[in-house]
Amino acid sequence: MIEVFGIKNCDTMKKAFRWLEENKVEYRFHDYKKEGLDAELASNWIATLGWENVINKRGTTWRKLDDETKNTMNAENAVQLMITQTSIVKRPVIVSGETKLLGFNPDDYAKHLL
């Protein structure tokens, strides 16, 4: 089963949901704003995708961080930040077996999910 991780009221998430539904791809949605994110999952994403990719540096959550936190960011700190401030994670994260997709990219979705 494909798992989609994100926040329900995000525009990028809505695009991903629409694509999945139009292409009849079954999935389970994990709203990490409500259900949280654990260290094992966050560490796995960081190890596979890199913290620089998983952490959304364009969002308001990143912009609100103090400079010291931003300047000392590394994989370990990113995991802790992801757990305490889930909205820092780029959305969606899609997990299908060993495949992990980050963000909304219809071409990647078609290649890996269909």
Give the pLDDT of residue 16: 97
- The mean pLDDT value for 37-57 works out to 95
pLDDT at 52 over 90: yes
- pTM for this entry: 0.90
Contacts of 113 (CB under 8 A, 6+ apart): 2, 20, 23, 25, 94, 96, 101
Q: What string of DSSP letters covers 40-105?
A: HHHHHHHHHH-HHHHB-TTSHHHHHS-HHHHHT--HHHHHHHHHH-GGGB-S-EEEETTEEEES--
Q: Is 39 helix (H, G, I), strand (E, B) or coil?
A: helix
Tens digit of pLDDT for each residue in 62-80? 999 999 999 999 999 999 9
Under CATH, which number does the domain 2-113 receive? 3.40.30.10
What amino acid positions are annotated as catalytic residues?
10
Domain regions of the chain by residue span: 2-113
In whole numbers, what is the pLDDT of the chain averaged over residues? 94
Q: pLDDT tier at 1 (50, 70, 90 boundaries)? A: confident
